[in-house]
Every structure is written in structure tokens, then in C-alpha cells.
Amino acid sequence: MSWRDTLPPVRGKLLRDEPLGAFTWFRVGGPADVLFMPEDQADLADFLKALDPGVPVTPLGVGSNVIIRDGGVEGVVVRLGRGFNQVQVLDSISIHAGAAVPDAILARKAAEAGIAGLEFFAGIPGTVGGAVVMNAGCYGSETQDVIATATVVDRKGKVFLMGDGFDYSYRHSALQDAGLIVLSAVFEGTAGDPPESKAKIAEITSRREQTQPIREKTGGSTFKNPPGHSSWKLVDEAGWRGKLFRATGGGAMFSELHSNFMINPGEATAADIEGLGDAVRADVLAKTGVQLDWEIKRIGRSG
């Protein structure tokens, strides 16, 4: 009898061998051993508390910045949904959002409430949970600039509030290293003017639509910007913009529109996409001596 035969009872959904491609923006990837979609915070905490501590647990948001490898993901993949998508305005500068709330929705709700400073979230293709964990940012602002507290749960099912200890750096936080799952967060902006904030959001949205392949099967920014460099320029100058790379499937490429965005033009596999990224990293390093580090998270077993 395996661990999958003795899973704790839940009120949400437990799906065995569930394909994960449909849950990612690249639309690739193998199955999760188990996919758990908890009903609410208590459901998740009780499950983690009772789960065999030797079973790996991997949180997955909307899959906007992740490659699920073709062999699937070992253990339990946790995907937060309806029970974690509430937004509540707390006061004139503070807003509370569940981990499953899309970043763009957080930006819009804050603007409507007259809370300024969160407009940049309109340019981030993910959810609040992912933004808090990886210190997501764009256009000169980052999550660390506006976060006040985060409610998290650890692998043992203990729920607690964090007001510090995030240890933020560029696209990284202590939450990643500790294996914590973000449940919700409180953000603090400044008192603002709703029309002005909405205009900023419209500008960010328009700029993103014009410069990023948001209607393609993509994963957002592929590489972090090395100190003193722009990743897109390094990829472009190395000759990889629009160049098809095949490993095991139909192939992947860096977008013609933005050369730091990989896209699945049709029938790519996860091996195609990750292989393209690794090939470009090696080529750029050989040509320029600059190391490109992944911003996209790669998880799971190779196919």
C-alpha cells in the first residue's frame, strides 16, 4: 500500500495522476502524483498536519511562471482556488487579498478603493501567493515595497502570521527556502486618487500588451536581469529571438516581440522549453561571460 492510498480526508478535491499542463500558461507538463485543491485554509492545514511528513508538497498558483517537467511532479501539488480568492479593503491605505487573487485584480481593487502604490501589480501575470513568495515586481516597484503581513502555513499544518523575516531580494524570499505556503497577505499603499490610479493601470496594461506576448503560451520573464545587463538584450544579441529549438517535441522559441519571453508555438514539450532556456544560457555565457539565471521555476521529473 502506497502513501496515495492512505491520504487524509479532505473537503476539497484530491485527484490522483492529474495532468498539470492545463494548469500552466505554457500548457505543458506531466501529471501530479496527487493534486489537492483545498476548500479553505482549515482544509489545507488539517491535510498537511495529517499527511506523511516524507511526502513532498509543492504549491502551484496559476502556473504563469513555471515549467512542469514532462515526467510530472512527485508527491502532492497544492493549488489554491475559490477559498483563497477574496479581497477586503481594510482602511484608506490597506488591503487584504487571498493567495489565489490574480495580481491584476489586486491592483484594480486597490485603485477603486483609493489606495495608491499597488498599480504595478497590473503588470504581473500571476497571483498574490506567487508575488509574495518571489518578490514579484515590474516598472520599478516590487512586492517588498508594499507588503505588510502574510498569513502562511508550514509543512506541519501550522498557520501563522509573518510581519517580518521575509528576507527579500531580487525575485527571492525566505519563504521559498522554508517551504511555506502563502494563504493571504495584507498590502499597504498610500492614500490616492482612484482615477489617477486607474489611469496608471491602463498605461501599464497597454504597455504590457504592446511589448509582451501575453496571448501566446508563455511563462513570463525567463531570466532574471544580471547586474548591469538586460536579459532580453543578451538573448537578442546572441541570435535567439524567434529561433526554434527542439528537444523531444514540436519545439519552443523566444518571442519575436520580447526576447526574454519563451513561447510554446504549438506542440512543444517541457523538455523543449527548458532545453531552449539552458541552450541560451550556455550560449550567452560563452559569448559574453554573463551568467543568465532562471526566473521561471522548473519543477518535477524529467520525461
- Looking at the annotation, which residues are catalytic? 171, 221, 295
Beta-carbon count within 10 A of 259 CB: 25
- Return the sign of the alpha-carbon dihedral for residues 163, 169, 170, 175: negative
Closest listed residue to residue 185, CA positions, set 175, 194, 177:
175
Closest listed residue to residue 12, CA positions, set 55, 76, 98, 63:
76
The full DSSP string for 93-124 is: SEEEEETTSBHHHHHHHHHHTTEES-GGGGG-
Beta-carbon count within 10 A of 278 CB: 15
CA–CA separation, 24 and 125 (whole Å):
12
The answer to whether 292 and 245 have CB atoms below 8 angstroms apart is no
CA–CA separation, 259 and 292 (whole Å):
13
Max Cα–Cα distance, the chain, nearest Å: 60
CA–CA separation, 289 and 36 (whole Å):
43
Beta-carbon count within 10 A of 54 CB: 7
The full DSSP string for 266-296 is: SS--HHHHHHHHHHHHHHHHHHHSPPPPB-S
